[in-house]
């Protein structure tokens, strides 16, 4: 599984979820039960938490990125 910690935050993945090696789950990401994560998908919880609910599908090549905080 391609799971990466970011600034001390680690992905939380329900048991039995398969994340392909070509996908990336980074930082504060929660993935629920019975989800599908497609090849090449990126879930980037580096600035905000991303919660993928139970039975969700994140398709091949999708990019999910939390909102970047206002910096000024």
- Does the pLDDT at position 72 exceed 80? no
How much is the pTM?
0.87
Query: Of 12-16, 45-49, 51-55, 67-71, where does mean pLDDT reach its minimum?
Result: 67-71
Query: Of 8-12, 28-32, 44-48, 68-72, where does mean pLDDT reach its minimum?
Result: 68-72
Q: What is the pLDDT of residues 20-35, one digit of tens each?
A: 999 999 999 999 999 9
Domains along the chain?
3-61 (2.160.10.10)
**CB-CB neighbours of 9 under 10 Å:** 15
CA–CA separation, 71 and 54 (whole Å): 33
Per-residue model confidence (pLDDT) at position 20: 94
CA–CA separation, 61 and 54 (whole Å): 20
């Amino acid at each position: 599984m391609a799971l990466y910690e970011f600034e001390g935050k680690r992905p939380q993945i329900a048991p039995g979820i398969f994340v392909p090696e070509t996908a990336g789950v980074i930082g504060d990401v929660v993935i629920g039960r019975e989800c599908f994560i497609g090849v090449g998908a990126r879930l980037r919880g580096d600035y905000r938490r991303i919660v993928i609910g139970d039975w969700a599908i994140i398709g091949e090549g999708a990019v999910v990125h939390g909102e970047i905080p206002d910096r000024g």
